[in-house]
Structure 1
Amino acid sequence: MSAWDGLSNAAAVFQLVGVDAGGLIARIRQAAQTAHQNKKDCEILARRVDTLAELLPYLQEREQEPVAMRSLARLEEMLSEAHDLVMSCQGKGRTYRFFKGSGLADRFRHVERTIDVYVSLFPMVSHIAIASRLDNSASSRSSSGHSHSSSRADGEEEEEEFTLAEITAATSNFAVVLSDGDSATVYKGRLHDGREVSVKRLRPGRPGAEDAFFTEVAILRPIRHDNIVRLVGSCAAADGERIVVTHPCITDGSLYDHLHSHRTSSSPVTASWKARIQVLLGTARAVKHLHCHAKPLIIHANVTSSSILLEATTSAGWAPRLSGFGASVWRAAGVESQAVEVVAAAGYADPEYCHTGHLKPASDVYGLGVVMLETLTGQRPVVTVWDDGSGNMVPMTLASFATQSILDGRLLDVLDRRPVSNPTTCQLEPLQLVANTAAQCLCFHGDNRLPIADVVANLEQAFHLICTRGHF
C-alpha cells in the first residue's frame, strides 16, 4: 500500500485527537511541489511525511488504546511545523526572511530528525502494539496461570507472553549466565515444552532500556532467518522487569568470546580459518536479509563481534546468529539515510555517521568490515600502539591500524597466526579476498562501501576456495 492510498485512513485516525492529518499531509506535499525556495529540502521533508501517512492506517485497530492516543497526539506539532516550514518556501516574503534569518536549513534538519526518530521508535506501529498488548495481558495471564500466545495472521509460530514467575522457573531462578553486559544479562533457560532458550534480562532503570526492549521485540517478531536469533516471547512485568526470550539457546558464546577471551583460547573457531570465514559469511547473509528482504527493511545499527552468537552444528560447522537488536531501526520509506541517535561500541563507529548524524545501511557494512578485521587479525576493535611522539602506548581503532597494511599488500603483517603459523601463497588467496572486502567496507563515505550483496558474494567465493583446496 502506498502512502497516498492510506491518507483517508490516516485522516480518520487523526480526527480522534483533533488533527486533520490527511489535510496537513496533502498540503505539505502540494507546497513542496510548488516551492520556489529550498525545493530539494521541501521534497525530502515531504517524503518524510509520506512515511507517517504510510504507517498511520495500521493504528486504526488500536485507535481507542491510551498508548496509541498519546503517540498520535505527539504528531500534531510535528506536522504543523513541517507545514509551516514548506509554506515559508513559497516566496521571499516576510515569513521566508524570518525563517532564513533564523537558520532555515537547520530547521529543515530539525524537523526531518524529529520525524525520523519518531518513525525509528514507532515503525509499523509495532511499539504501540506490543506495549498495549503486554500491558493488557497481565490480568488474563494471572487468571489462567499460564502464558498466552499472540496469534499470527500468517500462520507462523506464535509469540508467547511470559510471566516473571514462568521466566524464573525456566531459568532455575536465573542460575546459568551465558553473557553479561552493561545493558543486560543473558541466562540459559528451558521452557515447559522442553525448548532451550536464551533469556535476556534488561537492567532496570538504565536510560533507554524501555525503548530498547520494545524495539527489539518489535523488530524480531516477523524475522525468520537461519542466521538471526528467533523471538520466542517476552515478559513485561509490573515491577519494571523487561525480558526477551529467543531461540536457540546459544551456549557457545559470541564471536568476540572466541577471538579474544582467554577461556576460549582453544576454540575450534580460533583454530580454523574455515570456521572463521563460515561465521563471517553467515553474518553477512543475516545483514543482507535485513537490508534487502525484511518487511519493513531494517538497519541493525549494532553489528559487532559481541552481537554475533555462535552455535555449533551437527555437521561440525558453526552457525552464527545475529542478535542485539535493541538499537535497530526500520528504514524510512523514500530516504537514503535517517537522522537517529545511535551509540556505537568502541571501534565500530561509522565515521560518516559520526560526521553527519545520519544512519544508513552502509553503517552496518562498516561494522561488518570491523568484524572482518577482528576475524583476520585476532585483534580487538580497539588496539594499543606505541606513539613515538608522546613516547606512550595510545589507543587506535583496528580499522586505522590494519587497513593500510591490507591496502599496501602486507596482510601478513597483521594476520592472526593461530590457525596457520606460516600460510602459503595458496592459503593466503581466500584470506586476501576477505581482507580486500573488509577494506572496501571501511571507506569513510558510505556510498563508496561495498553493497552488502557484494560482501556476501566475496565471502562465498573465499569460503568456496577454502573448502575446495582443503589446505586449512
Structure 2
Amino acid sequence: MKDVINICMAQTVDFKRTLSNLTVAIWFIVMDFRIRANNMFVVLFILCCCDLDFGTATDTINTSQFIKDNETITSTGGNFTLGFFTPQNSTNRYVGIWWKTKFPVTWVANRNQPLSDSSGVVTISEDGNLVVLNGQKQVIWSTNVSTTSSNTSAQLLDSGKLVLTETTRGTILWDSFEHPSNTLLPGMKTSTNVRTGMKIEITSWKSPSNPSVGSFSSSVFRRINIIEMFIWNETRPYWRSGPWNGGIFTGIPMSSFLYSFKAGDDEEGNTYFYYTVPSPQQIFMYMLNSRGQYNQISWNDKKKEMEITWTSQESDCDVYGICGSFAICNAESSPICSCLKGFEPRKKEEWNRQNWASGCVRSTPLQCERVRDQNVSAKEDGFSKLQMVKVPDFPEGIIVDTECRSQCLENCSCVAYSFDVGIGCMSWTGNLLDIQQLPEGGLDLYVRVADSDLEHDKGTITAMIIGITVSVVTVIIVTSAYVMWRTSNHPAKIWHSIKSSRKRNITAFQPLNKKGETPEHPSHKVIEELSQVKLQELLLFDFERLATATNNFHLSNKLGQGGFGPVYKGKLPDGQEIAVKRLSRASGQGQEEFMNEVVVISKLQHRNLVRLFGCCIEGDEKMLIYEYLPNKSLDVLIFDPFKSKLLDWRKRCSIIEGIARGLLYLHRDSRLRIIHRDLKTSNILLDEELNPKISDFGMARIFGGSEDQANTNRVVGTYGYMSPEYAMQGLFSEKSDVFSFGVLALEIVSGRRNSSFHDDEHVLSLLGFAWMQWREGNISSLIDPEVYDPSHHNKDILRFIHIALLCVQELAIDRPTMAAVISMLNSEVAFLPPPNQPAFILRHNLLNSVSSKGSHRFSSTNTVSITSISGR
C-alpha cells in the first residue's frame, strides 16, 4: 500500500497520463488487496493526493512531459506563460511567450514557420533539443544545440527567459534571451562583437498579424569609443539614441529613463546594452513594432493592463537624418527643418517644397579655407552654440576631458565639438547629420562657423536686449497688476512686498563673478527670472482657495515642519491632492528662499524631482504648492524600526539610484546648473511606489556656465550633511552635493541617522563608524539587519557602501562626480579605488570649529540645521 501511495504522489505528467496511472493504481489496490467497504477511506485518500497533481502548474518541459496546442506552462511567479497562440487577423498557430494578460507576446519560436492547424507539440527530442513538431511529427523549429545528452529539460523563468538545461550538471545549453524576437526585456542584452561581427539584436514582426522577421532590427553599436543604440531599416539607419554617457543615452529625453540602464564592453570584444528593474512586478519592456518604432510598455496596476509610456518616434524629427546634413530638426517649429547658422539650403527649391534630403551647405568659407586661398588677413573661426540637442552621428571621442574648443580649432577638419562629463570631448570632421532639438536633456553642440557669421550675431544683440527688456518690464507690470487685483484686500501690503523684493539683495540669484563671489550690487535677477516663468504652467493660487483646501490649515492636515515653515495636505475642488508649504512670517530669510524655490523648480522637470504646481503671494503670506506624495519623506520610513521593514534592499537600491539620477540632472542635464546645498533624508519625498523625489530648493544655487566652485559668507544647510569645505570655508560646488549624497547612501544602507552616535565618546557620526568598520574589515556590521542577508545582495550592498565612502572623502577633489557615481552604482566601473578618510571623524573637529564662529542656527527636521555661518 505504501508503495502505491508513493507512486501516485510522484506523478507529474499531463492530465491524461496521470488519470491512466490513477486508474491502474485503484484497480491494483482493489484486485490485489480486495478492499472492502471499511477500507474505502484509503482509496479516497490516494485519489485526493493524486488529484493535487492535476491542478499543480508546471514551468518545465522534459523528456516525459510535453505540451500540446491547448496546453501551457507558466513561470513560478506567474509572470510569463509559454504556449500556442494565433495573432490577430490570422489563422496560423505559433509557439510563443507572453506576459500575464496574453499581451504582449514577447518571444516567438517558429516565427518563420507557422503551423496551419492545432496539431502542434512542444517537446524534448531524442538528441536533447527543445523542438516544435507539426501533426506529422516533423520538426519545424529547434533550439539546434549540438549536444549528445538526452538528459535535458526546458524551463520558463519568471524573467520571461526560456532556458534549455543539461539536468545532470545544471549547465545552460541555450536560452531565449540570446535569440530574441521583437521585445527587449529586463536583463536581456543586445550586443555586437567587434571582432567577430556577431550580434544579438531585436527584430520586428513583419506586421501585427505576422510574427516573421520584418524589415527593422535594433542593436547596440560602437564607433571608436562612443556607444549608441540604433534601429535599422534593412541596412540603413532609421533611428538612433545619441551617445551613451555612462548613465543615459543623451539623445533621449531624461524622463524616459525609469530604472537602471547599463552599457559598455566586456573582455571578449562585445559591446552590450541592457537594463534592470527593482522587481519582476515592476515590469516594463521595449517592443520594436513593424513600423520601426520602439514602444516602451509598462504594466498599469490600477488598470490591470499594459500601456505605452514612451515611443522612439514621437515626431518626424526622430527619423534618422530627415533634414539632411548641416541642418537641425525641431518638432516645435514649422517647418521642422532649418539650416544651421552659417549654412544655407543646398537646393533651395527643393527645400522650399519641404524636401530636405539634400541638406545644407556652408555659406561663408572657414578661416582654413580662406588662408589656403591666400587671404591671410582672415579672422579666426568661432563657434555657434546649440543647446539641448541630440548631437550628430559619427562622433569621434577624445580621451581628454578639457580644451575641446582649442583642439577643434587647431584641426582644420574639425567642424563641431561637444562635451559630456561621462564621455569627455567629442568632435566631428564630416557632415553633421541627424541633429535634433530636444525638449529636455541633450547636450550642447558647438558648430564651427566663420567669424563674419558671428559678427552678424553681435550686430543684433543690442536690438535683442532692447526687445527683451521691454518684454520683461511689460510682464513685470502685468504680473504685478494681476497679483494686486487678485489680492484687493491687501493692496498696500502687496505693493510694498513687490517693492521690497526688488530692493533686497537676493544673493541666491546673483551671477557669480570670476572669483566665484556675488557682486556687491544686485541686478534684480529674481524679478527677471520670475517674470519669465510661464503663468499658464505655474499657477497663482489665491489664499482663500488654499485655506479651503487645507480646512483653514487645520492641525490634522499638517504633514510636517520644515526649516522655513509648516507643510499642509490639501485637496482642491477637482479632487487633486496637494502639499502646501506655508512660509513662516517669523523667518528673516523667508522671502529669499521663497523666490529661490519658485524660480528654480519652475525650470526643472525630472521624475526624481518634486513637481511644483504653483505659488501664492498675498500680503505677508507666501506659499508654495507641490504635488502631494503619500509616503512623505524618506526619514519617516528609513529611521522607523517598523516602517523600515517596507524597504527591502531592492527598494533601497532603487531609492539611492533615483536620488543619484536626480542630482545628475541638477548638476549637468537641466537647463540650469544647480547645486542643491541641503540634501538630506527629510528632503527626499517618496511617491506611491516609493520612488524618490528631491525637494526643498530654497537653499539651491544656480551656477553660471563656466563656474565650478563658489564662495559664500552665508552657509546654509543641515549639520551632518555639509561637506567640510562648505561648513568651514563657505566653498560649495557639485562635490558638496556629492558629499551629502554619500551621507544619505550610508544612512539608507544602515538605517541609522548620521547624528545618532551622540553617546559615543570617540565617534562623531555614522561616517566615523563606517570608516572604523571599513578599516577593520567588519563592514557588514554597518548594514541594517532588515536587509542584511549573506546569501543575497551582500556583494551589491558592500559595493554601495564603498561608493558612499568615496563620496564623503575629506577633499572635494577626491570625490567622484555624480555621473561617475551612477556608473559605479550600475557596476559599469569594474574597479573602485580605495577611499580616503572621510571628513569629521572625531567629534571635536567640527563642533569646536562651528562653536568658535558664533554661528546663528535654526532648528530643522534633521536635528541641527546651520542656516548662517561666517566663512573664513
TM-score, normalization by structure 2: 0.36
Q: Deviations over 1:434-455 (max 9, x none)?
A: 0011001011122211110121
Aligned position for 2:652: 276
Quick check: 1:345 aligned with 2:718? yes
| TM-fit CA distance, 1:269 | 3.7
Q: Of the candidates 54, 57, 61, which is equivalent to residue 471 of structure 2?
A: 61
Aligned position for 1:371: 744
Quick check: 1:398 aligned with 2:766? yes
| TM-fit CA distance, 1:225 | 0.6
Q: Of the candidates 665, 668, 671, which is equivalent to residue 292 of structure 1?
A: 668
Provide the C-alpha distance between the structure 2 equivalents of 1:253 and 1:307, rounded to a whole number of angstroms.
Answer: 10
Provide the C-alpha distance between the structure 2 equivalents of 1:203 and 1:289, rounded to a whole number of angstroms.
Answer: 30
Q: Structure with the greater relative contact order (CA < 8 A, sep ≥ 6): 1 or 2? A: 1
Q: Of the candidates 700, 704, 712, which is equivalent to residue 332 of structure 1?
A: 704
Aligned position for 2:451: none
Quick check: 1:356 aligned with 2:734? no
1:252 touches 1:309 (CA, 8 Å); kept in 2?
Answer: yes
Provide the C-alpha distance between the structure 2 equivalents of 1:72 and 1:180, rounded to a whole number of angstroms.
Answer: 26
- Aligned partner of 1:62: which letter? V
Matches within 5 A, 1:417-428: 417-420=785-788, 423-424=789-790, 426-428=792-794
Distance 1:201 1:395, change over 3 A: farther
Quick check: 1:414 aligned with 2:794? no
Aligned position for 1:128: 527
Quick check: 1:432 aligned with 2:432? no
Distance 1:365 1:214, change over 3 A: same
Matches within 5 A, 1:17-416: 61-63=471-473, 112-115=516-519, 125=525, 127-129=526-528, 150-151=535-536, 158-175=537-554, 176-238=557-619, 240-247=620-627, 249-261=628-640, 265-270=642-647, 272-313=648-689, 318-340=690-712, 341-384=714-757, 393=761, 396-416=764-784
Q: Deviations over 1:28-81 (max 9, x none)?
A: xxxxxxxxxxxxxxxxxxxxxxxxx9xx95655334868599569999xx99xx
SS of 1:150's equivalent? coil
Distance 1:312 1:73, change over 3 A: closer
- Higher share in helix: 1
Quick check: 1:451 aligned with 2:855? no
| TM-fit CA distance, 1:356 | 2.9
- Aligned partner of 1:356: which letter? Q
Q: Deviations over 1:368-388 (max 9, x none)?
A: 00000101111112132655x
Aligned length: 340
SS of 1:114's equivalent? coil
| TM-fit CA distance, 1:267 | 4.0
Distance 1:216 1:116, change over 3 A: farther
Provide the C-alpha distance between the structure 1 equivalents of 2:774 and 2:654, rounded to a whole number of angstroms.
Answer: 21
Provide the C-alpha distance between the structure 2 equivalents of 1:177 and 1:439, rounded to a whole number of angstroms.
Answer: 36
Distance 1:131 1:440, change over 3 A: same
| TM-fit CA distance, 1:170 | 1.5
Deviates more, 1:191-200 or 1:287-296: 191-200
Provide the C-alpha distance between the structure 1 equivalents of 2:678 and 2:758, rounded to a whole number of angstroms.
Answer: 26
Q: Deviations over 1:275-296 (max 9, x none)?
A: 1111111111100100011112
Provide the C-alpha distance between the structure 2 equivalents of 1:73 and 1:172, rounded to a whole number of angstroms.
Answer: 36
| TM-fit CA distance, 1:132 | 6.8
Provide the C-alpha distance between the structure 1 equivalents of 2:767 and 2:522, rounded to a whole number of angstroms.
Answer: 32
| TM-fit CA distance, 1:354 | 2.4
Provide the C-alpha distance between the structure 1 equivalents of 2:687 and 2:778, rounded to a whole number of angstroms.
Answer: 33
Distance 1:185 1:374, change over 3 A: same
Structure 1 gap segments, 5+ residues each: 6-52, 83-107, 135-148, 152-157, 388-392, 463-472
2:630 touches 2:688 (CA, 8 Å); kept in 1?
Answer: no
Distance 1:298 1:182, change over 3 A: closer
1:346 touches 1:381 (CA, 8 Å); kept in 2?
Answer: no
- Aligned partner of 2:764: which letter? M
| TM-fit CA distance, 1:250 | 1.3
Provide the C-alpha distance between the structure 2 equivalents of 1:343 and 1:73, rounded to a whole number of angstroms.
Answer: 17
| TM-fit CA distance, 1:428 | 1.1
| TM-fit CA distance, 1:312 | 2.2
Distance 1:244 1:425, change over 3 A: same
1:383 touches 1:397 (CA, 8 Å); kept in 2?
Answer: yes
SS of 2:826's equivalent? helix
- Aligned partner of 2:527: which letter? I
Q: Deviations over 1:232-266 (max 9, x none)?
A: 0000111x11110011x11212111111236xx23
Aligned position for 1:23: none
Provide the C-alpha distance between the structure 2 equivalents of 1:237 and 1:74, rounded to a whole number of angstroms.
Answer: 20
| TM-fit CA distance, 1:427 | 2.6
Distance 1:166 1:130, change over 3 A: farther
Provide the C-alpha distance between the structure 2 equivalents of 1:244 and 1:214, rounded to a whole number of angstroms.
Answer: 10
SS of 2:691's equivalent? strand
- Aligned partner of 2:723: which letter? D
2:615 touches 2:625 (CA, 8 Å); kept in 1?
Answer: yes
Provide the C-alpha distance between the structure 2 equivalents of 1:394 and 1:349, rounded to a whole number of angstroms.
Answer: 20
SS of 1:396's equivalent? coil
Deviates more, 1:347-356 or 1:438-447: 347-356
| TM-fit CA distance, 1:330 | 0.5
- Aligned partner of 1:241: which letter? E
| TM-fit CA distance, 1:180 | 1.7
Distance 1:308 1:409, change over 3 A: same
1:337 touches 1:360 (CA, 8 Å); kept in 2?
Answer: yes
1:161 touches 1:235 (CA, 8 Å); kept in 2?
Answer: yes
Distance 1:118 1:304, change over 3 A: farther
Distance 1:410 1:117, change over 3 A: farther
Provide the C-alpha distance between the structure 1 equivalents of 2:700 and 2:548, rounded to a whole number of angstroms.
Answer: 30
Provide the C-alpha distance between the structure 1 equivalents of 2:812 and 2:783, rounded to a whole number of angstroms.
Answer: 26
| TM-fit CA distance, 1:342 | 2.9
- Higher share in strand: 2
1:67 touches 1:131 (CA, 8 Å); kept in 2?
Answer: no
CA RMSD of aligned residues (A): 3.6
Larger radius of gyration: 2
Aligned position for 2:39: none
Aligned position for 1:87: none
Distance 1:174 1:337, change over 3 A: same
2:530 touches 2:599 (CA, 8 Å); kept in 1?
Answer: no
Distance 1:394 1:235, change over 3 A: farther
2:738 touches 2:815 (CA, 8 Å); kept in 1?
Answer: yes
